[in-house]
Amino acid sequence: MRWLIPLFKKLLLLIMMSVLIVGGAVFYYAHDELDLLESPVTFELRTGSGLRAAAAQLSAAGIIGRPEPFELLARLLGESGRLKAGNYELTAPLTPLGLLQRMTRGDVTLTAVTFVEGWTFSQMRKALEENPRIRKELATLSEPELLQKLGMAVPSAEGWFFPDTYHVTDGTTDLSILQRAHKLMRKHLEQEWARRAPNLPLQTPDEALILASIVEKETGRADERGLVAAVFINRLRIGMRLQTDPTVIYGMGAAFDGNIRKRDLLTDTPYNTYTRTGLPPTPIAMPGLDALRATLNPAPSDALYFVARGDGSSKFSRTLAEHERAVSQFQRRSRP
């Protein structure tokens, strides 16, 4: 039986070495900085998620690599059942151990800032100014000063921020929120521009953003967004004026009282698409992702006109004669 003693010692040594190797690997993983795709990045841990589901969500969001090491770390530290659901704003530098500690403490974001599709930049600024949990850095700045502060080389801030809900910690600055929204709009615009349909009458992503803002404002029903985009694309192709009321209203500024009159359609401004051919000089609102996609991949249609039916939908027409009949029909129906 004496021969078992050396074997036992070797086995014990092998186990100890294995423990040291695994322990070293876990220690290295726990303290190795995560390669976040962007900073800050917002992550929502869904209610009812266990450790395995949480690790899978973090991996799918690109915050961690494979989910298994993070799951092992949590189990070894006895934290497997302590992760708290909520919205987290994660900033670099961040390690897996730091991430785990934040999620077990429930260090979630407390403030949600929502920018709505179709909002103007002035509406965005008002939402930020009226939020008591946002630290104000931009309230006294003019638009040119604000653009310089944000490092935006565009003629106007209008339309250059992505409409979404941004979860931030109390005391986050309005500047950092706008930086995130601008970065996200740039990202989506670049992605959709790369996927655009061939032979569009749009020369740059900036032009696509301008047209998408018009599509956003003109769309009454989501399922018609592609057709609305097709009408404006078709008009641009043949050099026809866009003749869209939202651009006229935008050009009127504070003078708009809720009604648009014939004289408003005849008064020339850079945004009056009844008096000027082509796109207006800037976007007129924030387009959402669906408007960007519809603009750059419009529905197959040769329609040049559309008119509201009065129920939220529109009647699309190929010719002026068809359109005039539709206008007569639906305007007559809408009269009391």
Average pLDDT over residues 62-89: 85
The pLDDT of residue 335: 44
Q: Is the pLDDT of residue 25 over 80?
A: no
What is the pTM (predicted TM-score) of this model?
0.71
Q: Is the pLDDT of residue 219 over 60?
A: yes
The pLDDT of residue 179: 92
The lowest-confidence range among 18-22, 42-46, 129-133, 320-324 is 18-22
* Nearest residue to 227 via CA among 307, 120, 322, 333: 307
Average pLDDT over residues 95-108: 86
CB atoms inside a 10 Å sphere around CB 13: 10
Average pLDDT over residues 31-52: 82
Residues in the chain: 336
| Domain extent listing, the chain | 34-108, 111-191, 198-334
Tokens found for residue 92 = 């670099």
CB atoms inside a 10 Å sphere around CB 148: 12
Dist. CA 60–CA 122, nearest whole Å: 36
| 304 compared with 78, residue with greater pLDDT | 304
- Specify the CATH class of 34-108 in words: alpha beta
Return the percentage of the chain with pLDDT > 90, whole number: 45
The pLDDT of residue 36: 81
The pLDDT of residue 46: 81
Mean pLDDT over the full length of the chain: 87
The pLDDT of residue 336: 43
Dist. CA 186–CA 182, nearest whole Å: 6
Q: Is the pLDDT of residue 316 over 60?
A: yes
Average pLDDT over residues 267-292: 96
Task: Note the pLDDT tens digit of each residue in 114-124.
Answer: 999 999 999 99
Split at pLDDT 50, 70, 90, the class of 312 is: confident
The pLDDT of residue 334: 47
Token pair 């002026």: residue: 320
Show the CA angle centred on residue 83, arms to residues 82 and 87, nearest 5°: 150
The pLDDT of residue 139: 80
The lowest-confidence range among 20-34, 137-151, 195-209, 276-290 is 20-34
Split at pLDDT 50, 70, 90, the class of 129 is: very high
Q: Is the pLDDT of residue 125 over 70?
A: yes
Any residues with CB less than 8 A from the CB of 317 and at least 6 apart, and which?
A: 303, 304, 305, 306, 307, 323, 326
| 287 compared with 68, residue with greater pLDDT | 287
Split at pLDDT 50, 70, 90, the class of 169 is: confident
φ, ψ dihedrals at 234, nearest 5°: -65, -40
Any residues with CB less than 8 A from the CB of 284 and at least 6 apart, and which?
A: 120, 158, 159, 210, 213, 214, 217, 246, 247, 250, 271
**End-to-end CA distance of the chain, in Å?**
106
Average pLDDT over residues 227-246: 96
